[in-house]
């Protein structure tokens, strides 16, 4: 197991899932539900997010081969995408999803795109390419980050009272700063591959 890849995966997935920043959204989506119902919604959302991330992590290379896209190009594109998301986090401009009572909120918008959005999918695919077989590091990183996110979301009511609106903004901005640094790292690696190799 590659500890470096595991840590990178854990940090990237955890930051992009932004469980703390999504607590207010979870509370709105599950408004009027009993605690047990809310927990079931959160459990289902986490399982769906893990499944989607693992499928994309393992199937991503096939997509690249089929479309004839180099890893360097994907790293640059992924870095730019993550940078845009991190800037939105820093500026507090992330859109709140439209709530539709007729659909399963556990799948959308909670699992997709809040927990497993395009940035997260791109990141796990990129990190999978760096991981030695059998990609245990990425799998453990994804599951670990989702478990921590699950624990945070399970405490949604408590966290909402403890942090308050201002606290959630501060934490989201700190996570956005870390994500921006990770985006620059991924993008610069891609640029080196494209122009210096």
Q: Please report the pLDDT score of residue 132 as a whole number.
A: 65
Count other Cβ atoms within 10 Å, centred on residue 172: 20
DSSP 100-163: -TTS-TIIIIIIIIIIS-HHHHHHHHHHHHHSPTT-HHHHHHHHHHHHHHHHHHHTHHHHHHHH
End-to-end CA distance of the chain: 27
The H or E element spanning position 21 is none
CA dist list (Å): 65 to 61, 68, 69, 120, 194: 6, 5, 7, 20, 17
Q: Choose among 5, 12, 6, 1: nearest CA to 122.
A: 12
Q: State the Cα–Cα distance between residues 47 and 153, nearest whole angstrom.
A: 13
pLDDT per residue as tens digits for the range 94-151: 544 444 455 588 998 789 878 998 788 888 988 887 766 668 999 999 999 999 999 9
Q: State the Cα–Cα distance between residues 49 and 129, nearest whole angstrom.
A: 20
Domain membership of residue 12 as a residue range: 3-196
Count other Cβ atoms within 10 Å, centred on residue 77: 16
Q: Please report the pLDDT score of residue 93 as a whole number.
A: 64
Q: State the Cα–Cα distance between residues 159 and 157, nearest whole angstrom.
A: 6
Count other Cβ atoms within 10 Å, centred on residue 164: 11
Query: Cβ neighbours of residue 44 under 8 Å, at least 6 residues apart?
Result: 104, 106, 107, 111
Q: Please report the pLDDT score of residue 138 as a whole number.
A: 93
Q: Average pLDDT of each block of 10 consecutive residues along the chain (197 residues)? A: 89 93 80 83 96 91 83 84 82 56 75 85 85 81 97 84 73 81 87 87
Structural domain tally of the chain? Answer: 1
Q: Please report the pLDDT score of residue 167 as a whole number.
A: 76
């Amino acid at each position: 197991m590659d500890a470096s890849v595991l840590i990178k995966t854990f940090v990237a997935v955890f930051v992009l899932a932004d469980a703390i920043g999504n607590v207010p959204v979870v509370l709105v989506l599950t408004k009027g539900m009993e605690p047990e119902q809310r927990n079931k919604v959160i459990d289902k959302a986490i399982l769906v997010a893990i499944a989607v991330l693992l499928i994309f992590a393992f199937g991503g290379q096939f997509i690249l081969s089929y479309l004839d896209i180099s890893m360097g190009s994907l790293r640059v594109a992924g870095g730019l995408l993550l940078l845009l998301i991190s800037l939105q986090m820093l500026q507090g401009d992330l859109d709140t999803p439209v709530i539709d009572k007729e659909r399963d909120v556990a799948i959308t918008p909670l699992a997709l795109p809040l927990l497993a959005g395009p940035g997260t999918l791109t990141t796990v695919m990129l990190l999978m390419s760096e991981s030695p077989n059998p990609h245990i590091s990425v799998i453990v990183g994804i599951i670990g980050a989702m478990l921590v996110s699950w624990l945070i979301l399970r405490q949604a009511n408590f966290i909402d009272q403890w942090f308050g609106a201002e606290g959630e903004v501060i934490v989201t901005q700190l996570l956005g700063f870390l994500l921006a640094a990770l985006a620059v790292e991924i993008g610069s690696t891609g640029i080196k591959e494209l122009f210096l190799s």
